[in-house]
């Protein structure tokens, strides 16, 4: 359940940050994995 929530959050973050560099999106994914 929590994993599904985190993956959905990750998708939202990527959609919000499509204008930024891929590196920024990777950083967001890493931050999500840590929590």
Q: What pLDDT shows up at residue 31?
A: 78
Q: What pLDDT shows up at residue 30?
A: 79
- pTM for the whole structure: 0.27
Q: What pLDDT shows up at residue 32?
A: 76
For 1, the token pair is 């359940």
Q: What pLDDT shows up at residue 18?
A: 58
Between CA 4 and CA 19 the distance in angstroms is: 25
6-34 pLDDT, tens digit each: 677 767 766 665 555 667 667 777 777 77
Beta-carbon count within 10 A of 14 CB: 16
Tokens 């919000």 label which residue? 16
Domain parsing of the chain, residue ranges: 1-33
């Amino acid at each position: 359940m929590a994993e599904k929530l985190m993956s959905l959050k990750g998708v939202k973050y990527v959609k919000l940050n499509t204008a930024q560099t891929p590196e920024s999106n990777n950083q967001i994914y890493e931050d999500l994995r840590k929590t």
